[in-house]
Amino acid sequence: MDKKDTAIIIGSLILSGVAVAFFYNKFHKKSPETISNLQPPKTDGIKSILFIGDSNTEAPWSYADKIKKMYPTVSVKKIAKHSMKTDWMLNELQNELAKNKYDIVSVLGGSNDIYATGKNDTAKANLEKMYQLSKGAGARFVIVAPPNKNFYANATEVKQKSLQDLLNWEKNTANKDYFIDFWTMTNNKNLFSKGDGFLHPQSAAHEILTKDFSTKLNLK
């Protein structure tokens, strides 16, 4: 066999090897879904989150439930009840932190204080106490502003001003590690339901909140 024939044979073998590799990769490559399942979302070292709130967090479509579904490696607990004020939340937080530790404590509340009493001073005081409790227990503290009431059927000018004052305090003055402006996010009537007088933001609003929460806390 001369050199020319040898070169042809070697070339044919190389081409065959390339073809085999191409078709193997084409038909054995993992799908994006499989790769995703093998690589859980990153959580920036966050292993546990406690969510405290009122009816907005109690809802089955709340941001707490969406976070739990999105990040299965994170231990999530939700303590929430409709119509509850921040004094109830403070008491629940005290009881829970006496038993368990969390990396994150997230609180969404305050509007019930205003609608029950016409004032926001107790909400501010209780949020401050919740911050101190959380930090004392080694947790980072998240304040989520109450949702927008611009479309609420029973809103009043006095209560709107009190809510806006609470929002400004939470954003600019309150002690916290993170602030999430759910009020501004929900300044859209389409995110509410006519059935409850446009009081509670629906699932689409909590989807927006979930994305902002994940970004701020570096959950990926």
CA 132/CA 142 separation, integer angstroms? 12
> Are 82 and 163 in a shared domain?
yes
Kindly report, residue by residue over 101-114, the tens digit of the pLDDT.
Answer: 999 999 999 999 99
24: pLDDT strictly greater than 90: no
CA 202/CA 204 separation, integer angstroms? 6
> Are 8 and 76 in a shared domain?
no
Which is nearest to 44 in space by CA: 114, 103, 129?
A: 103
Comparison of pLDDT for 103 and 23, the residue scoring more: 103
| % of the chain residues with pLDDT over 90 | 80
CA 161/CA 143 separation, integer angstroms? 19
- To the nearest 10°, report the CA torsion of 16, 21, 22, 27: 130
| % of the chain residues with pLDDT over 70 | 81
Q: Are 25 and 17 in contact (CB under 8 A)?
A: no
What's the rounded mean pLDDT across residues 32-42?
Answer: 51
> Are 74 and 173 in a shared domain?
yes
> Are 80 and 158 in a shared domain?
yes
pLDDT at residue 161, as a whole number: 98
> Are 32 and 64 in a shared domain?
no
How many CB atoms within 10 Å of residue 140? 17
> Are 77 and 153 in a shared domain?
yes
DSSP H helical segments within the chain, as ranges? 3-28, 32-38, 55-58, 63-70, 86-97, 111-117, 121-136, 157-172, 182-185, 203-216
135: pLDDT strictly greater than 80: yes
pLDDT at residue 100, as a whole number: 98
pLDDT at residue 40, as a whole number: 62
> Are 164 and 68 in a shared domain?
yes
> Are 25 and 93 in a shared domain?
no
Kindly report, residue by residue over 41-56, the tens digit of the pLDDT.
Answer: 767 799 999 999 999 9
> Are 48 and 107 in a shared domain?
yes
Which is nearest to 118 in space by CA: 176, 165, 67, 69?
A: 165
- Using 50, 70 and 90 to split pLDDT, how confident is the model at 1? low
15: pLDDT strictly greater than 80: no
pLDDT at residue 44, as a whole number: 74
What does pTM read for this prediction? Answer: 0.81
How many CA atoms lie within 13 Å of 43's alpha carbon, on the beta-carbon side? Answer: 18
> Are 189 and 162 in a shared domain?
yes
Comparison of pLDDT for 12 and 183, the residue scoring more: 183
What's the rounded mean pLDDT across residues 53-63?
Answer: 98
How many domains in the chain?
A: 2
Place of tokens 């005081």: 125
- Determine the distance from the C-alpha atom of residue 187 to the mean position of all C-alpha atoms in its chain, rounded to a whole number: 18
pLDDT at residue 2, as a whole number: 52
Kindly report, residue by residue over 177-205, the tens digit of the pLDDT.
Answer: 999 999 999 999 999 999 999 999 999 99
17: pLDDT strictly greater than 50: no
CA 212/CA 60 separation, integer angstroms? 19
176: pLDDT strictly greater than 70: yes
Sign (positive or negative) of CA dihedral 148, 184, 187, 207: negative
Domain harbouring 133, CATH code: 3.40.50.1110
> Are 49 and 29 in a shared domain?
no
> Are 13 and 113 in a shared domain?
no
What domain range is 161 assigned to?
41-216
